[in-house]
Amino acid sequence: PAQVYAIIASLLIFLVLWLLREHRYFPGFLFWLYVDLYAVSRFIIEFFRETPVIAFGWLRVTQAFCLLVIAGTTAYIAYRFKTWTGVGKDAQPEIPG
């Protein structure tokens, strides 16, 4: 059933990203949000996989890597939200029309 859970998680991630596509966050926000959400979903789905490779107590190697990715991307997103002013080189260009 892990493959079915992966498909469901991917569809949910797509839905979240699709709903946020028109919002103006810092450049690259949707990419980093995707990486973060995918790592979260992969961490959870790994509990349902039948591979018995345990590395750190109850964690698999993949789950440990996912935790590192989640920590890194969440910290980066928080940093960018804190420092992004919405003006200057990171600002979205206005399209005349």
Domain ranges of the chain: 2-87
Is-above-0.75 flag for pTM? yes
In this prediction, residue 93 has a pLDDT band, given cuts at 50, 70 and 90, of low
pLDDT over threshold 90, residue 17: yes
Query: How many CA atoms within 13 Å lie on the side-chain side of 54?
Result: 7
User: 52 or 21: whose pLDDT is higher?
Assistant: 21
Q: Which residues have C-beta within 8 Å of that of residue 5, sequence separation ≥ 6? A: 44, 45, 48
Question: pLDDT tens digits for 64-79?
Answer: 999 999 999 999 999 9
Can you spell out the DSSP letters for 14-74? HHHHHHHTTS--STTHHHHHHHHHHHHHHHHHGGG-------BTTB-HHHHHHHHHHHHHH
